[in-house]
Amino acid sequence: MAQQKKDAPIGMFDSGVGGVSVLREAMEMLPGEHFIFYGDTLHAPYGTKTREEVLQLSCSVAEKLISMGAKAIVIACNTATSAAAQELRQTYSLPIIAMEPALKPASALHKDGYVLSLATPGTIRGEKYQQLLQKYGEGVESLPCPGMMEFVEKGETDTESLHRFLTDLFAPYKGKMPEAIVLGCTHYVFLKRAIQRHFPGVPLIDGNEGTVRQLKHMLEENDLLAEEGSVGGVTLLSSGDPDAVKLMEKLMNSKE
C-alpha cells in the first residue's frame, strides 16, 4: 500500500495555464514524479472574483484531483492560496502545498529605493499577502494588475497589445526604477521578457522554486516521494477550451 501511495500522482491546479510555470520547476526538481495539472480555464481569471467564489472553485478542483488518486495537492495560484489553502488543509489529510508571493526574498534586495510587487487584486486583498506585507513589506509598492494574466491565457507573451498594456500599467513607475519586481502570479513568469523590456536589468523574483522545494520536503516528510529510478510524467487537463492544453504544452517548452 505504501508503495502504491508513493507511485500516486501529484495534483496541481491553477485558475488557468499560468501554473505551468510551477509545473516545469517541479518536473525538473522531481523527475520521478507523475503530475496531473488541472487548469480551470473555464472559470479564469480567479484574481477578480470574490474570495467565496475562488474558495468554491478551488475546493471543487481539489476534490476532482483527489478523486483521481492524488497523493498531494499543489495550489499553483496565489489567489487560490489566499482564498482556499487553509480550508483545504482543514478538510483533507494529504499534503497541501501553496504558493507564496516572493516578498521575503525580494526584501533582501531592498535598500533605499522600492520593490514593485505585481499581483492580482484577489491576491493583494488576501490575508496571506497582507501578513507577508506586514513582515517583509518595507519599501514595497503593491500594484494590482487586473487583465494582465489574460494575455498569457491567450498565448500573448510578446505582442504589441501586451506592451501597450504594460506601458500604461507601469507609467507611474518609470521615473524611478524599482530595486526588484515580485511576480505575484504564476502567469506573470511567462511575461518576464516583456516586463524586462520596461524595466531592463531589474531582478524579477517569483515564488515557484520555493513552492517546489516545500513540495519535495512534504513528500519526504510523509514518505511519499517516488522511489529512486521512477520515471515521471505529466497529464494536462483543462476545464474549458481543449486548445488550452495545447497552450500548456507550448508554455512548458518556452524559454522566458
Reported as a single tens digit per residue, the pLDDT across 6-30 is 999 999 999 999 999 999 999 999 9
Query: What does pTM read for this prediction?
Result: 0.93
The pLDDT tens digits of the residues spanning 25-71 come to: 999 999 999 999 999 999 999 999 999 999 999 999 999 999 999 99
CA–CA gap between residue 71 and residue 64 (Å, rounded): 13
Closest of 99, 80, 105 to residue 23, by C-alpha: 99
CA–CA gap between residue 61 and residue 46 (Å, rounded): 13
* All structural domains of the chain: 2-98+208-252 (3.40.50.1860), 103-205 (3.40.50.1860)
The one-letter code for the residue type at 251 is: L
Catalytic residues: 77, 185
